[in-house]
A and B are shown apart, each in its own frame.
Chain A
Amino acid sequence: MRNMLVGTAVVAAATLLEAVRNRILMIGLLFAVVLLGLSVAAASVSFGEESRLIIDVGLAASSVFGAAIAISLSIASFAGELRRHTAYPILARPIPRFAFVLGKYLGVVVTVVIVVAVMVAATATIVTVYDAAPPSAFWASLVLTAVEVQLVVAVATLFSALTSPALAAAFSVGLVLAGNLAGDIQLFALRLSNKGVALGYWLQGLYYLLPDLQRLSARTQAANHLEVAANELVLNAAYGLGYGVAALVLACWLFDRRRVI
């Protein structure tokens, strides 16, 4: 038990340290800041919609760049380390293999959540300057974005445990894109199944496999100063956390059974 906890903590700390010193993080953060600056410029000609535009763009940038940084860091720190063999000396230590998976996951999640929090805080500051303090839905959106980040990291970790860095990145990006369309897939599936088309049922099954990332977004509510019900927030966050945990457990199980590292 001690080896597992220590192993997870050490790997997570090293992952966090490497991520902070890695240029990918800085580049991602820079892009997000630039985008935020552009939104401020656009807001100046938006005739009374400054707050809405800045919140919308700021939260969207946090989500998109958060997902992008999550995937690239997860791939680089897991599949990349396996490919470069930098994981060998660590896996040769007296720690269970799943501790390595957990440590990588935790290290990347903490890193990306900090980056997302910085971007969201910057957005909140700008909105406060332009208009007033952001609405409660804004902070609900931060919570859901953090849950989305851990889900994306879990999915990228799962693919990293299975395959090469390039394929893991492709699968992760594909799943995130599909996840953002999951709600639309479900609507389409319902229409087809209501007409008795078999494809509808298959698509319904596909919907349940995909992570419905639309449930982890409260950008529309935040931008339009609408409320997010507490039970809706809790349910959606639980869904996201549950999906992430399931992906992580699967990643640990598969990595533990790999014949060759």
Chain B
Amino acid sequence: MSILQVENLQHDVRRHFWTPRRPILRDVSFAVEAGEIFGFVGPNGAGKTTTIKSILGLLRPTAGRIEVCGGRPSDPRVRAHVGFMPEQAYFSEYLTARELLLQHALLAGARWREASGKASAALEQVGLGPHADGRLGSFSKGMLQRAGLAQALVGAPQLVVLDEPMSGLDPLGRHDVRELMLDLRRRGTTVFFSTHILPDVELLCDRVGIIVAGTTRKVGRLDELLGGAVRGVEVVAEVCPPALVATLEGLATVLPRHGGEIVLTCTDLGRANEVIDVLRRSGVGVRGVQVLRRSLEALFVAETEQDTRGTRS
């Protein structure tokens, strides 16, 4: 069952009243299933944030249909089930983290008596418990991102919408956010996040949507989008005598590596097994084996270049 459905979304903007309208979103369509992590991927300026603003009712698109948690984004009751973390930490610098979370707990529908407890719990969940009474103006970028995540989660939403949640975070911060997102999925919360950091998508997402120049190009499971087919197998072997290298050159492409190791690129798994057998019989150790499949980066670049070629022609 889809918790979020976007159909044929279009949005045009006009920079000044005397300038013509230009399209930001041309045709965006995708659906997010309940309980999954959905990655919304696209280059800068593709329309990710505009799409998110449409989902949250911050923007009324020119055309198209959006259904969130069974209702329209313009209905305030629907937004009670949605938590949102903006791309930049858009919070008042004069408030403390606790005040911010209290504010959002109340806005999310919590009663006064329970709001304080929910605020504290959300701050602990993102690791900001010790900084609860610090002013947001004094927070680092990473701390502000955590505060943003906390206010998105404080209302225990069914759907969490995160706009570039890893933006500006150090590796430890990104790890923590990834773990949080995985924990949300374990608890049955649906996570929809936009990003252009592809390794995070490959680590986290059940399904992915790729948007380029305001149009969704691909939507589906990662393994389906990437084809699943094996493009090659790399075998890394220890130092080999020249005679053995000559034999292996008949089975695979041989490239030397640092420390005297060699990398053997085979066309398929069967050929890779033959190479490994030859190495074993010769008493040469295998340092590593990696199956090469089409990467998300390759797909992403192909889709973006296709758009660039289309623009030039």
Contact = CB atoms under 8 A, between A and B. Distances in A.
Interface residues of A, number: 27
B56 interface: yes
Nearest to B56: A92
Contact of B77 (A86, A94, A260): A94
Contacts of B91: 86, 89
Interface string B40-59: 00000000000001001111
Nearest to B86: A88
Contacts of A88: 53, 58, 84, 86, 90
Interface string A90-110: 111111100000000000000
A94 B151 CA distance: 14
A85 B95 contact: no
A246 interface: no
Contacts of B77: 3, 94
B114 to A, nearest CB: 13
A95 B59 contact: no
Contact of A86 (B59, B92, B152): B92
B100 to A, nearest CB: 9
Interface string B73-114: 000111110101110101110110001000110111100000
Contact of B90 (A7, A85, A93): A85
Given A14-B103, A86-B92, A94 B108 contact: yes
Contacts of A92: 56-58, 79, 82, 84
B79 A10 contact: no
A21 interface: yes
A3 B106 contact: no
B13 to A, nearest CB: 7
A95 B76 contact: yes
A89 B76 contact: no
Given A86-B90, A88-B86, A94 B106 contact: no
B82 A22 contact: no
Given A7-B107, A10-B106, A94-B80, A17 B56 contact: no
Interface in A36-65: none
Given A84-B90, A86-B91, A89-B90, A259 B59 contact: yes
A6 interface: yes
Given A94-B77, A95-B76, A85 B60 contact: no
Contacts of B60: 259-260
A3 B110 CA distance: 10
Nearest to A14: B103
B169 to A, nearest CB: 19
A45 B78 CA distance: 67
Contacts of A3: 76-77, 80, 109
A96 B74 CA distance: 9
A221 to B, nearest CB: 39
Contact of A93 (B53, B86, B88, B107): B107
A167 B80 CA distance: 34
A17 B106 CA distance: 16
Contacts of A114: none
A6 B59 contact: no
Given A17-B95, A89-B104, A259-B59, A94 B109 contact: yes
Contact of A89 (B53, B59, B80, B86): B86
A10 B59 CA distance: 23
Contact of B79 (A18, A21, A94): A94
Interface of A: 3, 6-7, 10, 13-14, 17-18, 21-22, 81, 84-96, 259-261
25 contacts: A3-B77, A3-B80, A6-B107, A10-B106, A14-B95, A17-B95, A18-B95, A85-B90, A86-B90, A86-B92, A87-B90, A89-B84, A89-B85, A89-B86, A89-B90, A89-B148, A90-B103, A90-B107, A91-B57, A93-B79, A93-B107, A95-B76, A95-B107, A260-B53, A260-B58
For the complex of A and B, 3 pairs with smallest distance between CB atoms: A94-B80, A93-B107, A21-B94
